[in-house]
Amino acid sequence: MTKINRPALFVLLMLSFSPLCAQTFPDHNYPVNYFRNPMNIPIQLSGNFGELRTNHFHMGLDIRTNQRENLPVYAAAEGYISRVKIERYGYGRAIYIKHPNGYTTLYAHLNDFYPDLNRYVKEVQYNTEQWEQYIEFPAGKFPISKGQFIANSGNTGGSQGPHLHFEIRETSTDKNVNPLHFNLNIPDHVRPTIYGLYYYDRRFSTYQATPNRIRLKAAGNSFTSIDTVVRVSTPIISLGLSAEDKTDRSFKFGIYQAELSMDDTLRNAFRMDDFSYDDSRYINANIDYRTKYRGGAYIQHLSILPGSKSPIYLEGATGVLRIDDGEVHSISLVVKDVSGNTTTINFRVRYVASAIQNQAANPAAEAMFPGQENKLEKPGIEVRFSKTAFYDTVPFIYATQQPASGAIVSAVHSLHNFTVPVHDSFTVRIQPTADLPEQLRDRVVMQLVNERKKVAVKGSWKNNQLEAKYWDLGKVQLILDTVPPVVRPVGWRDGSLLSKATSITFAAADDAGELKSFRAELDGKWLMFSRKSDYFIHRFDERTSAGSHELLITATDEAGNITSRMYRFTR
């Protein structure tokens, strides 16, 4: 890392400014009216394509199911089931249908699939003794006609309430496409709503500059600034927008398109047409990450950060505006939805040199730059970041402290803080503060803790250092974990009569981090439990017949500690 001593910390030495933009977004020829509504109720949305979510853009439509589960879900067009996915997070239970027109539809957070598919998948789960599955099918295995019942809606996976998540993808690229382009009969006569407009001092990194609010007032169907001319104290600015959109019958959600012009010339724009899951994490470069995760609103950058390869912006434009001539410049912002409903913001801005302010330097900070590999080497720790890790220059602050607990067997290393995102995984190596016997080394995990999460990783030993990978910044330390997971029955107890129950549930968790595994055996044979958060649920079926049963539960944490207990119940 590079130490910076200038009063204006992290001045961007090679800042690219927005060129004049002649290009626009490409036109697409989508197969309108090919896909039907995947449900038999009018579509009302609780989420749209491109909506801002934690670490990702929303990749489809969230269709409301009247706060109910088990509504029938139907195939949007003919084709065949190409994949099924079952997972704790994310989609939960999901079906992929490949269509002959070159698109694939996805239906997620489902409960039971239709009977033939449900039986097949359940057989695979029991044969492999794995609840989580990713199964691919050949074209002739499960053919589907348009409008065929395929599943019941649910609330599985990362869902926070009953709904259907629906996606349309290009089959050849697996790139997600905005479903609103396919005319699914979703009325929309509502203009996008503007909550706030901000400017940033782009002499500095966006991880150091703070958003400065531009006060707005309504002017007919548009907005303008309260000040006749907005005076700013920096010759280089970019803008950020806080806004939402909705259809005639929906919650508020993300905006589709925004265009930024200065002096009647387009300088940058973004549009939510299509992008892949590999690109979705670039949302962290498209928002003011620090403001959001300090409890503020989503503010979307109208500029491209130096280390971002986000596909939603116009290629070649940056949106960073130079106004150092002291002249008054006109700024126009046009915000649109897919149906063409539009909200505009127009104001004038001027750089006033006498008001210029510099950022105070933090002598403890060292620079980590986008577009190059960065590393941290301090006593007891080595950290390596890839050249794609950071979107902008990071005024990185490292600190260390002694452990407060005897279970912590290293120094506590603070890697900056959680308000700076990392695009991909980075490698951490930590040396313990004392020699550990071989039998104890196997119980050591590396733990990362910040204000949003706690993650324990088993890692691997290399030259008396434990190595692990993370995706977030925070405090890292080595923990000697000898405490087994906690397992408890929920809503019943050992020896219960469960003849009227339809399911059986356990809560299982580990103090250091996530569980590594959970296994159940009924009368000596593997029994399938689904998982939602830290709850494990078995719905009674032919394997849990009437009579007395013994149920062995085994939970294992990342360090290898095991809790194993036998429960008895009668049905």
pLDDT tens column, 142-175: 999 999 999 999 999 999 999 999 999 999 999 9
Which pLDDT band holds residue 7 (cuts at 50, 70, 90)? very low
Are residue 552 and residue 464 in the same domain, yes or no? Answer: no
**What is the structure's pLDDT at 348?**
98
Tens digit of each residue's pLDDT (9 = 90 or more) over 295-321: 999 999 999 999 999 999 998 889 999
Are residue 494 and residue 473 in the same domain, yes or no? Answer: no
Q: For residue 500, give the nearest of 488, 508, 492 by alpha carbon.
A: 492
**What is the structure's pLDDT at 221?**
82
Are residue 279 and residue 338 in the same domain, yes or no? Answer: yes
Q: Is the pLDDT assigned to residue 17 strictly greater than 80?
A: no
Are residue 527 and residue 473 in the same domain, yes or no? Answer: no
Are residue 103 and residue 65 in the same domain, yes or no? Answer: yes
Residue 78 and residue 100: Cα distance in Å, rounded? Answer: 8
- Does residue 522 belong to any structural domain of this protein? yes
Are residue 114 and residue 86 in the same domain, yes or no? Answer: yes
Give the domain extent around 496.
486-570
Q: Compute CA distances 339 → 34, 35, 186, 244, 567, whole Å.
A: 18, 18, 10, 15, 58
The CATH number for 462's domain is 2.60.220.30
Domain boundary among 480, 501, 521: 480
- Non-local (6+) Cβ contacts of 168 within 8 A are 35, 60, 76, 103, 104, 105, 106, 176, 177, 179, 182
Which pLDDT band holds residue 12 (cuts at 50, 70, 90)? very low
Total domains in the chain come to: 4
Residues, the chain, total?
Answer: 571
Q: Are strands 496-497 and 562-570 parallel, antiparallel or unpaired?
A: parallel
Residue 440 and residue 224: Cα distance in Å, rounded? Answer: 65
Ranges of beta strands (E only) in 299-364 are 300-301, 321-322, 329-336, 342-351
Are residue 195 and residue 333 in the same domain, yes or no? Answer: yes
The CATH number for 329's domain is 2.60.40.10
Domain boundary among 452, 480, 508: 480
Residue 185 and residue 249: Cα distance in Å, rounded? Answer: 12
- Does residue 103 belong to any structural domain of this protein? yes
Tens digit of each residue's pLDDT (9 = 90 or more) over 251-270: 888 999 999 999 999 999 99
Tens digit of each residue's pLDDT (9 = 90 or more) over 352-377: 987 556 666 678 889 999 999 999 99
Are residue 247 and residue 298 in the same domain, yes or no? Answer: yes
- Does residue 138 belong to any structural domain of this protein? yes
- Does residue 5 belong to any structural domain of this protein? no
Tens digit of each residue's pLDDT (9 = 90 or more) over 518-568: 999 999 999 999 998 899 999 999 999 999 999 999 999 999 999 999 999
- Non-local (6+) Cβ contacts of 530 within 8 A are 131, 156, 536, 537, 538, 539
Are residue 136 and residue 110 in the same domain, yes or no? Answer: yes
For residue 322, the cross-strand partners are: 236
Q: For residue 498, give the nearest of 463, 447, 548 by alpha carbon.
A: 548
- Does residue 16 belong to any structural domain of this protein? no
- Does residue 288 belong to any structural domain of this protein? yes
Q: Is the pLDDT assigned to residue 6 strictly greater than 50?
A: no
Residue 140 and residue 451: Cα distance in Å, rounded? Answer: 49
pLDDT, the chain, mean:
93
Please name the amino acid found at residue 96.
Y
Interval 240-255 mean pLDDT: 91
Residue 207 and residue 450: Cα distance in Å, rounded? Answer: 18
Are residue 334 and residue 371 in the same domain, yes or no? Answer: no
Q: Is the pLDDT assigned to residue 16 strictly greater than 70?
A: no
Residue 29 and residue 12: Cα distance in Å, rounded? Answer: 41
Are residue 260 and residue 329 in the same domain, yes or no? Answer: yes
Return the number of other C-beta atoms located less than 10 Å from residue 436's C-beta.
18
The CATH number for 503's domain is 2.60.40.3780
Q: Find where tokens 């920096």 sit.
A: 234
Which pLDDT band holds residue 400 (cuts at 50, 70, 90)? very high
- Does residue 15 belong to any structural domain of this protein? no
Element (H, E) at 195: strand 193-201
Domain boundary among 141, 158, 182: 182
Give the N- to C-terminal CA distance of the chain in Å, as an integer.
Answer: 64
Tens digit of each residue's pLDDT (9 = 90 or more) over 443-497: 999 999 999 899 999 999 998 999 999 999 999 999 999 999 999 999 999 999 9
Tokens of 18: 């927005």
Interval 181-199 mean pLDDT: 95
Are residue 78 and residue 171 in the same domain, yes or no? Answer: yes
- Does residue 18 belong to any structural domain of this protein? no
3-state secondary structure of 440: helix
The CATH number for 121's domain is 2.70.70.10
